[in-house]
Structure 1
């Protein structure tokens, strides 16, 4: 994720939570490690991948 202020790709997620009444959307507060700007992203889950937990046979 690029910082909207300086364009750096070095950022951290400060807070993460689902959007109220829309659990498929995640709200993230990010902070740039270079210029310390904070911004919010809303991310939508594109698809689910089923991963088997055990194998029989």
Structure 2
């Protein structure tokens, strides 16, 4: 059987400067853990770009 594609994370953009903190909040199933895994390099995004300088 074939899984249906799900948009786990809506398009987003943010910049953080040294010393800044960002809180990711949302409902269960809104993509918080998926975003954290992508930022940590644990999974690859299926589209889009991530730039960490």
**TM-score, structure 1 as length reference:** 0.19
**TM-score, structure 2 as length reference:** 0.19
User: Higher strand fraction: Structure 1 or Structure 2?
Assistant: 1
